[in-house]
Structure 1
Amino acid sequence: MLERKEYATILAFDVKVTPEARELADETGVKIFITDIIYHLFDQFKAYIDNLKEEKKKEATKDAVFPCVLKIMLNCIFNKKDPIVLGVDVLEGIAKVGTPICIPSRDFIDIGRIASIEINHKQVDIEKKGQKVAIKIASTNVEEQQKMYGRKFEIDDELVSHISRKSIDPLKSNYRDDLFIEEWKLVVKLKTLFKIQ
């Protein structure tokens, strides 16, 4: 079970663990839970598993890209060049800070990553379908020419999260329960759009 850290455990209920056994467990990376009350044993193990899941999510955050489709709102272009600041309507999915944004209608041109999201003058990290928010999109590549609103894209262009196979896999393995069915359907729709196998 050492291959999967969460299962490399020993649950010791109402027994003593010898110092030799504890030392061997520490050397091999096995976690031992000891208690005289069965419910406490369950609670300790569950807290351990939950903590491991959170650690995996944090590690996957940089690679996982949440699906979203954004519509630029009329008269809500606050800054046309890097960083681009726009008012958008979240048409589908989840807008999340760090999401790479591209424009499929313009040959999938990348315009940067969402650097911040603001709703009612308050910073948030994530917003879902149906919300109208202001987003700041910062360029990710300094050497590349800046993508400017009015030149590279217009108000009718939809902004879409730029997903890839590399971003879908950590999303599936770490955020499966955090996305609703309609958001997974959007992932499938975007896979077709980006021709991802």
Structure 2
Amino acid sequence: VIEASLTKKEDRFLAAIIAFNVKVTEEARELAREYGVPVFEGNIIYRVVEDFAKWYHEMHEREKRQTLEKLILPGAIRILPGYVFRRSNPVIVGVEVLEGRIRRGVPLMREDGRKIGEIMQIQEHGKPLNEAEKGMAVAISIRGKVMVGRQIDEGDVLYVDVPLDHIDILLSKFKEDLSEGEVELLKKIRRIKIKMRS
């Protein structure tokens, strides 16, 4: 148990005890619980290994989901002509999600990299949503110092302002979870942000 708990510092997903065809004492079980080390036991080896593999996969997936929830994901939207419901304070417009996804609370920028505000709300047919994906047409409200007709116009394409460190993490650790379009969009957003810096 102590050895498994030490392994946890290096790779917490390998910190487990596989007990095949042996009895785990109550003392060892209690110690494992105390150190947060799972115990997989049984008399049929492939079942014990299957249980461990299932746990291992579930833990990886949960960690991946938790990390992804903290990251700002890429998205591109187009302001639909004729669907400006409010020009400022906050701006309320109809948009089409061209690529990726948009979430409440994410910052938006123009194609030149200028920040325009943050998505406050997303609605589809009057129902609030937390997220909208590629292909959806929704209404959004944007909080910020922005006005339709000045900083943005009908037909404009806006991008989720993904921080550069989030782009690096997404492309290095989560590329296989993104569509080809989302990967290309991340690269485009990176180019916009780098150009804006120079």
TM-score when normalising by structure 1:
0.76
Counterpart residue type for residue 50 of structure 2 = F
**In terms of mean alpha carbon deviation, does 156-165 or 52-61 score higher?**
52-61
Distance in 1 (CA, whole Å) between partners of 2:151 and 2:79 is 14
Q: Any idea what the Cα deviations from partners look like across 1:9-39, whole Å, max 9, x if unmatched?
A: 1222332223443354345443222234543
Q: Are 2:132 and 1:133 aligned?
A: no
* Partners of 1:187 and 1:83 in 2: CA distance: 27
The aligned counterpart of 2:13 is 6
In 2: Cα distance, 1:150 partner to 1:44 partner: 59
**Pair 1:162-2:169 in alignment:** no
Match 1:57 to one of 58, 65, 90: 65
Q: Which moved more, 1:169-178 or 1:96-105?
A: 169-178
Q: 1:28 to 1:162 in 2, by over 3 A?
A: same
In terms of fraction of residues, the more helix-rich structure is 2
Amino acid at match of 2:116: D
Q: Name the structure 2 match of 1:83.
A: 90
CA contact (8 A) 2:122 2:130 kept: yes
Residues in 2 aligned to 1:103 and 1:167: alpha-carbon distance in whole angstroms? 18
Q: Which sections of structure 2, spanning at least 5 residues, go unmatched? A: 1-6
Change (3 A) 1:88 1:182: same
Larger Rg: 2
Q: CA separation in 1, counterparts of 2:171 and 2:36?
A: 27
Give a deviation string over 1:105-161, Cα, whole Å, max 9, x none. Answer: 3x512312x23322233333333222211112234xxxxxx3222332222432111
CA distance in 1, matches of 2:91, 2:14: 46
Distance in 1 of aligned mates of 2:175 and 2:17: 27
Q: How many residue pairs were aligned?
A: 187
Q: Which of 109, 117, 139 is the aligned partner of 1:111?
A: 117
Separation (CA, whole Å) in 2 of partners of 1:81 and 1:35: 65
Contact 2:41/2:48 (8 A) holds in 1 = no
Contact 1:35 1:41 in 2 (8 A): no
Change (3 A) 1:110 1:117: same
Higher mean displacement: 91-100 or 66-75: 91-100
Give the TM-score taking structure 2 as reference length.
0.76
Instruction: Report 1 or 2 for greater relative contact order, CA contacts < 8 Å, sequence distance ≥ 6.
Output: 1
Unaligned runs of 5+ residues in structure 1 are: 140-145
Does the CA contact (< 8 Å) of 2:109 and 2:159 recur in 1? yes
